[in-house]
Structure 1
Amino acid sequence: MSSSMLSTFNGLLRERLNDPLRRSSDALIIGTGLTSLLGLAFWALAARWLSTESVGIGAAVVSAVTLLANIATLGMRNGFLRFLPTAGSGTLRFIFTTYTVCALAAIAAAGVFLAGQPLWGQQLGFLTQTPLSMAAFILGTVVWVIFVLQDQVLIGLRHAGWVPLENGLASVLKIAALPVFAFASLWAVFAATVVPSIIVVLAVTVLIRQLVKKKLAASAAVRSEPTSFKTVLGFVVPDHFASMLWFATTDVLTLIVLNVAGPEASAYWYMANTIGYSLYLVTSNVGSALISESVHDPANAYRHARKALRHSAQLVLPAAVIGILLSSFALGLLGEDYAQFATGTLQLILASAVPQLIVGIGIAMARVRGDMLTVLGVYAFTALMLWGGSTFAIELWGLPGIGIMILLNQSLVAVFFLASGRSGLWPDAEHRSLAQRLGEIPRALRRRSNNRSIGQIVPGALASCGVDTSADIRLLTSNSDTLVIAVAAREGATDLVLKVGTSEAANQGIAAHSRALQQLSGALEDPELLGLLPKIVAHRELEGNQILLETRLVGAARTGFDESRLSSGAALATMSALHRATGVEQLIDDAWLEQMVRRPLRVLAQELPGRRAHRTLKRTERRLVQELVGRQVHSSFIHGDLWPGNILFADSDEPRVQGIVDWENAAGQGLPDADILHWWLAVQPKELGGAVVSVLHDASALQSDLAGWDVNLPNQGLGVKNLLVLTWLMHVAAGLNRASTHRVGRVWIVKNVLPVLRALR
């Protein structure tokens, strides 16, 4: 190898090792392959050194222990990936508390198994012969559940590189222990599996303690808000059920093939599925690394998802093509009958690994979002479709019928993830799902109606304000029933913006905007802050329509996902200066609660039929009133709709605010925290409802972003989640009141209101 080639190879290797996602993914894939090879060697040697009875009984016992341990994980395999990165100073407590709970679950599961042993394992009577034998089986189950969980702990701590070493060591020790315990007859396989695992569990526990202490020391042991038990439970219960459903899907398919097509077909199916499923494991391992990295860095989650998809595809696509071409040859090594009867099935399963790339990444990102309804729904749909369709498919197409069903199922689920926007591959700024496009219909209808209204209303509105009706005009985007028109001024004059109300809601918005600008102009003394506000040129009423003419500020909004986040520090620093300039200390009284809590809740209640929603709103009102009334807070003039579209920046590399527009949602005595939180919600790579729910479950991502932008919430004593709910209420009520003719649709309410209400129950 030439020096240039060696240098290129070293550079690529360093780049790969410096990428946490790819480094973790590669480690997990290597670990899976290494464990499989060493496991094959273990069973080959067991068959050579032990009697057939000892191997068969030992395999059954180990399978029972594995099944019981998987049940006893209680969903914490993915739970560790989801919550460990944000556990902060409580990391060790979280780990060992989980170990304890899962160990108790393992004891209970093993106890139930032993009690019912005559029913489901007549050949395993030796397990219950003595108290010592029962204790050994229970201990083995406890050890195995911790052995399974510690892999996820290492991944969650971003030290997945230890996983192949740990599993490889355990496998080597198992092989070494096999001749040592050969004398134990029926217990030989069990002892050779469990005893090395005890050694590895103890060693890895020490390693985990050191890794956590080192991590906390490096981060100055910053305390984070602990994740609530309710939040963890809300994740792990559906996730555990979904995982068990997925494990059961393959087992039930094997039974279906056995019952419908007989034992030979069952053997062909089992080998085809075992080989084909290896490609699913590639995406699964990458998905585990993706969850950990996305929770560590939520702002770039969609980038991690894209990288994970590319990384998985680089491995799965060529493997699938090669596997399809060589499947007959590979199965022929097992026997001519396998090549004859299982090749088509194997090829279809390998082909299904291609759409499964989208499915695997989509499932991982749903777990990152805490969208457990999607996770559970996908696995339930898969189980029902495969269980329900397999009997029909086998009778119609033979054994390849199951392969057809698997390929069809994975393709349909992949389409669902892409069409619904749940794949996690795009932030909302770049991608619109089918549901989001339906939700945008009211906006499209509004713009179409506004275009028709220009010729009818605008000339008279311009004339009423003393503006030449022949001036060049251009329709601007509006999220309300207000016509917003850019008016080009004559040379040397200032460009203008004309706002025309076309409904009662629009008229009220224009009037509120005008009042806010007048109040702010009187309250602000700083000329720089005053220069950020549009100046009212004329305010008229024409045939029942409010007409407002104001100066058009110079600058451009930065609404792209990346540029809006990069400009967040400058935008919030400017807004915080305005908050300070208008700030006062205020006591929260009943009048304040009426305006900021009760009135928005009444608006929301009018849109939500059903007693359950109304009960949730009432509980939310009682909780907020109880926690806020009588509190001394810092209040100020707030914008009320602070998002990147309402902040204008200078045309330069450095973000510098030149204007703040659209003040119709302003409040003279609001909480400045609401503007800050509204901005944060607006620059998240997800819709409002999902962003709010994520903070209600875990506020660490919000706190991290605010720290990065050097912004503090002025009223942190009220609680971040209370402040967030108030901000959400303000936004939702304003959205519902913004238009009379083309109001927000049901899709918008389903995506942005109902998920939050579920989280508030």
Structure 2
Amino acid sequence: MSSLRHKILRDLRNPLFRQGYALMANTVITATLGMGYWLLATHLYTPEEFGRGQAVITAMRLFASLTALGLVGALARFIPIAGRRTPELILRGYGVAAATGGVAAVGFLLTLPLWGKTYSVLGGFGPGLFFLASVLVWAVFTLQDVVLTGLRRATWVPLNNLIFGLVKMGLLIALAGALPEGGIFVSWMVPTAIALIPVNWLIFGVMVPRHVKNNTSEAEPPRLREIGRFLAGDFPGTLSILAIVYLVPVVVATQVGEATFGRFSMAHTLASMIELLAMNMAVSLTVEGSFDRSQLAVNCRQALRRAFMIIVPIITVSILAAPLILRIFGSEFAEEGTTLLRLMSLAVLPRVLIEVYLSALRAQSQARKLAVVQIGLAVLVLVASMALFPSQGVNAVGYGLLLAETLVAILIFSELRKILKFGETGQPSVTQGSPEAA
């Protein structure tokens, strides 16, 4: 026990692990509170209201993330070295993400009849305006976590989302009788909007000034042209990955009934939380690789070890206990979601390799390779999922993810091995006998 405690304390002194563990802890907290939230929703709302709430939240996150998720890699890459331009970089990211998401949301609302009966609840000026405002709020909320991580303050992320999750659950209960039609969506968004105020006060009032003061590097902060070149490669790729995360569920929502989508979405959400664990350590890897590229190879090896050490047991439990986990929400959830949860959980194994590889490319500003890998992955997932949907139904999403991510992991494996062995110059990134955490 003392050996384990010593190892954990040693890891926490390493910014790579400290940030990665904080983001992983945040995912666990979010998943636990999320299960509690949706469990309450299944008891407080009808299956149709439950499915409708899931569908509207998914659409909102799709539009809010159009640019926000595309900027995650850039902010993780450049905030560590932005120096005096850090506030400008963060605000530009917020503005671009909110503006792009807002335009997409307006287009969605203007074409609402084309999106099926599920989204008809957003018809009318009031619901439409609330949906638009929610997209703007969620775009900024999405970027807060990566801003804190880029400032090496990811330990604040779990606390923020713990409070957010608890308030969200309380509001869900309060609105169950008063607002059954939109209670789920409103209870999700109101705490999000409130959370923006203290978190951004902390970022701009405390953390950014300290970051600028402590950034003593004589190197010139990155210019917009350099960031633009990076985004030219990373953004199209990230946008294509967005299609996997949010567009696929939205398409599924247009093809199945509200109750069926609610059961699909629950399994999809739980599996996505496991996938987030793979991404957490990868984001930390991008940040630390930006601070010190000479340690990229050793950091990649450490990130892979820790990620697999944590994720493999979780995947094993998810596969074995999938029916029991989903049965908490009802027998119908277990009947319709078990196979999907198992397939998506298994797909996280190759995803770990892909995410570490992508983060190493971001740290090296290898924009072209980033685009090729991410776009290729998205195309494979979409084609496989849509091709299998007529015969496999919602399980086609799981089969598509597993097949596509396994194939891409095989294709990038030789390049990943080179990164793990060598530094940026093609020489070993650590000298013989240098210490490396086990």
Q: How far apart are the structure 2 equivalents of 1:338 and 1:194?
A: 25
- Please, which of 56, 67, 89 is the counterpart of residue 94 of structure 1? 89
Q: How far apart are the structure 1 equivalents of 2:236 and 2:103?
A: 18
- Please, which of 212, 215, 229 is the counterpart of residue 211 of structure 2? 215
Q: After TM superposition, give the deviation of residue 271 of structure 1 in Å.
A: 6.2
Q: How far apart are the structure 1 equivalents of 2:264 and 2:38?
A: 21
CA contact (8 A) 2:55 2:253 kept: no
Q: Which runs of 5+ in 2 are unaligned?
A: none
Q: How far apart are the structure 1 equivalents of 2:300 and 2:354?
A: 12
**Residues 334 and 13 (structure 1 numbering): CA distance in 2 closer, same or farther, change over 3 Å?**
same
Are 1:313 and 2:308 matched, yes or no? yes
**Residues 179 and 398 (structure 1 numbering): CA distance in 2 closer, same or farther, change over 3 Å?**
closer
The structure with the larger Rg is: 1
Q: After TM superposition, give the deviation of residue 294 of structure 1 in Å.
A: 0.9
- Please, which of 133, 138, 143 is the counterpart of residue 137 of structure 2? 143
- Superposed counterparts of 1:599-614, under 5 Å: none
Larger relative contact order (C-alpha < 8 A, sep ≥ 6)? Answer: 2
SS of the counterpart of 2:62?
helix
Q: Which runs of 5+ in 1 are unaligned?
A: 432-558, 567-761
SS of the counterpart of 1:425?
helix
Q: How far apart are the structure 1 equivalents of 2:397 and 2:130?
A: 40
- Superposed counterparts of 1:124-203, under 5 Å: 127=122, 129-130=124-125, 134-181=128-175, 183-184=178-179, 186-203=181-198
| Corresponding residue of 1:625 | none
- Superposed counterparts of 1:1-80, under 5 Å: 5=1, 7-49=2-44, 55=50, 57-73=52-68, 75-80=70-75
Matched length: 431
Q: Indicate the larger mover: 377-386 or 91-100.
A: 377-386
CA contact (8 A) 1:393 1:401 kept: yes
Q: Indicate the larger mover: 17-26 or 153-162.
A: 17-26
SS of the counterpart of 1:385?
helix
| Corresponding residue of 2:225 | 230
Aligned AA (2:202)? L
1:677-728 per-position Cα deviation (integer Å, ceiling 9, x unaligned):
xxxxxxxxxxxxxxxxxxxxxxxxxxxxxxxxxxxxxxxxxxxxxxxxxxxx
Aligned AA (1:24)? Q
Q: Indicate the larger mover: 297-306 or 43-52.
A: 43-52
CA contact (8 A) 1:74 1:236 kept: no
Q: How far apart are the structure 1 equivalents of 2:250 and 2:134?
A: 28
Q: After TM superposition, give the deviation of residue 97 of structure 1 in Å.
A: 2.4
| Corresponding residue of 1:727 | none
| Corresponding residue of 1:367 | 362
Aligned-pair identity (%): 27
**Residues 398 and 65 (structure 1 numbering): CA distance in 2 closer, same or farther, change over 3 Å?**
closer
1:414-458 per-position Cα deviation (integer Å, ceiling 9, x unaligned):
232232357631215998xxxxxxxxxxxxxxxxxxxxxxxxxxx
**Residues 277 and 127 (structure 1 numbering): CA distance in 2 closer, same or farther, change over 3 Å?**
closer
1:205-248 per-position Cα deviation (integer Å, ceiling 9, x unaligned):
1111201112233346x675232323222323443332332232
| Corresponding residue of 1:759 | none
Are 1:424 and 2:419 matched, yes or no? yes
Aligned AA (2:213)? A
CA contact (8 A) 1:362 1:422 kept: no
Q: How far apart are the structure 2 equivalents of 1:274 and 1:226?
A: 38
**Residues 30 and 231 (structure 1 numbering): CA distance in 2 closer, same or farther, change over 3 Å?**
same
- Superposed counterparts of 1:263-662, under 5 Å: 274-327=269-322, 330=325, 347-389=342-384, 406-421=401-416, 424-427=419-422, 561-563=429-431
Q: How far apart are the structure 1 equivalents of 2:267 and 2:371?
A: 26
**Residues 244 and 422 (structure 1 numbering): CA distance in 2 closer, same or farther, change over 3 Å?**
farther
CA contact (8 A) 1:103 1:145 kept: yes
Q: After TM superposition, give the deviation of residue 198 of structure 1 in Å.
A: 2.2
Q: How far apart are the structure 2 equivalents of 1:426 and 1:350?
A: 29
- Please, which of 223, 236, 243 is the counterpart of residue 241 of structure 1? 236
**Residues 223 and 139 (structure 1 numbering): CA distance in 2 closer, same or farther, change over 3 Å?**
farther
**Residues 260 and 144 (structure 1 numbering): CA distance in 2 closer, same or farther, change over 3 Å?**
closer
CA contact (8 A) 2:24 2:277 kept: yes
CA contact (8 A) 2:62 2:246 kept: no
Q: How far apart are the structure 2 equivalents of 1:398 and 1:57?
A: 19
Aligned AA (2:170)? A
Q: After TM superposition, give the deviation of residue 286 of structure 1 in Å.
A: 1.0
Q: How far apart are the structure 1 equivalents of 2:379 and 2:320?
A: 31
CA contact (8 A) 1:79 1:232 kept: yes
Q: After TM superposition, give the deviation of residue 306 of structure 1 in Å.
A: 0.8
Q: How far apart are the structure 1 equivalents of 2:323 and 2:9?
A: 38
Q: How far apart are the structure 2 equivalents of 1:352 and 1:46?
A: 28
Q: How far apart are the structure 1 equivalents of 2:243 and 2:355?
A: 18
Q: After TM superposition, give the deviation of residue 66 of structure 1 in Å.
A: 1.6
SS of the counterpart of 1:354?
helix
**Residues 199 and 395 (structure 1 numbering): CA distance in 2 closer, same or farther, change over 3 Å?**
closer
Q: TM-score normalized by structure 1?
A: 0.49
1:324-367 per-position Cα deviation (integer Å, ceiling 9, x unaligned):
44456556767788878876665554444333322121111122
Q: How far apart are the structure 1 equivalents of 2:182 and 2:267?
A: 31
Aligned AA (1:212)? V
Aligned AA (1:82)? R
Aligned AA (1:68)? F
Q: Indicate the larger mover: 421-430 or 209-218.
A: 421-430
Q: How far apart are the structure 1 equivalents of 2:124 and 2:328?
A: 43
Q: Indicate the larger mover: 383-392 or 104-113.
A: 383-392
- Please, which of 83, 98, 114 is the counterpart of residue 103 of structure 1? 98
Q: After TM superposition, give the deviation of residue 91 of structure 1 in Å.
A: 0.7
Q: After TM superposition, give the deviation of residue 70 of structure 1 in Å.
A: 0.7
CA contact (8 A) 1:365 1:423 kept: no
Q: How far apart are the structure 2 equivalents of 1:24 and 1:147?
A: 19
CA contact (8 A) 2:66 2:242 kept: no
Once superposed, what is the RMSD of the aligned Cα atoms? 4.0
**Residues 356 and 169 (structure 1 numbering): CA distance in 2 closer, same or farther, change over 3 Å?**
same
